[in-house]
Amino acid sequence: MTEQLPDQQYDDPQALCRMLEQRVAFILDEARRQGASACEVAVSQNTGLSVGVRQGEVETVELNRDQGFGITLYLDQRKGSASTSDTSDEAIRSTVEAALAIARNTSPDPCSGLADAELMARDLVDLDLYHPWQLDAEAAIERALACEAAALAIDPRLSSDSANISSQQGCRVYGNSHGFIGSSLGSRHSASAVLIVSTEEGKQRDYWYTVDRRADRLMGSEALGRKAAERTLARVGAKPVKTARVPVLFAADQAAGLLGHLIGSISGGAVYRQSTFLLDAMGSQVFPEWVSIDERPHLPQALGSSAFDGDGLATREQAFINAGTLQSWVLSTYSGRRLKLPSTANAGGVHNLHISSNAGDLQALLQEMGTGLLVTELMGQGINGVTGDYSRGAGGFWVENGVISHPVREVTIAGNLREMFGNLRCVGSDIERRGNYLTGSWLVDGMTVGGA
């Protein structure tokens, strides 16, 4: 057995995956040899490059090669976990010993253990997630500088907080003592620009970013810089607003966070701990009837795609909300056992969560709203998962008769998530695809906007 991953393995991604799979198999054998009744191993190895520039100067150049093995062992219903970044046989044996020592000193948990063997994923689909970018530091710096220069050329009042380029790629492997070993190659590339505009009224800050598995689908450097500059300049002249109860339009990238709050509230952990405002909502109306929210884990090249979950179960398309009604909790093997329900293959989270749309683009939603607040930034973490109470600082624009009137400052928006879900009037066609939540902008009626 090879004791260390040779450097040349990193240059051949398929060879790297095979080597990591062999290491996982070795760990499973070693756990069995040391007396574990069951074992599961998760390993990831990522390499990448990140650069950052500011005001025409290079601030950071980072090359990373990260690797880690997470080993979880079971002694019947007692569980112990340990991790290592060292791939040598000796380090692995020591880590297995450490996990076993922990397991011997933990209390039994009747819900612990691997998912049932017959539920393991079988034929893993290739989702085309790996698209490496042959980008060296010099080329990355050139792109970041071009992005910043394009932004600063828009207006002399602008200064740069940062412009960044990042390219990451790697392999993840999960295996367990049922004999399942699954691996997946993936890539993720991104660019961003953060700008500051200075006026007599003070300073305002905004940003934009682009992210994709394929570098050729990223927004061009100059276009990204101009977009970030335009967003920042649009904040000039921000005014407070009077406290009022009005519709609030969450731009698509901010609406994605509302989907995240939904998933948090219907996750198995929140349910079995009875710490969610949707505890009594199964089978009842949570959203208007036109709303469906489903998981699409097998979308080719999508950022949230995965063929198997963190327990080794095959992912699948499924609806959590259908015709506005809550259909299912989001369950791992463990949380499912706590609730006496089967896993929904969501150990580690959901994959490409999608919400139905019933409206046009952002401009159409502004016309639909009439008068209210367009939110383009949210600040703070004022969400109570038990009650659903929601209160956050917000940045954006006041809208009159469907037309943006002026940017806002010192604004707080407040409501209750259950009421917000029920008062969802529209979801736009401007779908945000830069993450795991696929949603258009949300128009929510009857929120309190607090100002001067």
Domains, the chain, ordered by start: 7-233 (3.30.2290.10), 238-452 (no CATH)
Instruction: Please give the pLDDT value at position 1.
Output: 34
Contact 429, 361 (CB under 8 A): yes
Low-confidence ranges of the chain (pLDDT < 70): 1-11, 452
The SS3 of residue 264 is helix
Q: Strands 181-199 and 353-355, how do they pair? A: unpaired
Instruction: Please give the pLDDT value at position 339.
Output: 98
E-only strand ranges, 277-359: 293-295, 318-322, 325-326, 353-355
Instruction: Please give the pLDDT value at position 452.
Output: 58
CA 321 to chain centre: 20
What string of DSSP letters covers 92-105? HHHHHHHHHHHHHT
Instruction: Please give the pLDDT value at position 4.
Output: 40
Contact 261, 325 (CB under 8 A): no
245-266: pLDDT as tens digits: 999 999 999 999 999 999 999 9
Residues 232-248: b if buried by 16+ CB within 10 A, e if exposed: bbbbbebeebeeeebbb
Strand order in the sheet with 202-212: 78-84, 57-75, 38-54, 158-176, 181-199, 202-212
Q: Which helix (H) or strand (E) holds 125?
A: none
Q: Which two tokens stand for residue 145?
A: 């500088």
Contact 70, 20 (CB under 8 A): no
Instruction: Please give the pLDDT value at position 82.
Output: 97
Q: Which two tokens stand for residue 65?
A: 């090669």
Instruction: Please give the pLDDT value at position 380.
Output: 87
Q: Strands 244-250 and 325-326, how do they pair? A: unpaired
Q: What angle do the packed helices 89-104 and 13-33 form, to 10 degrees?
A: 50
Taking the whole predicted model, whether its pTM rises above 0.75 is answered as yes
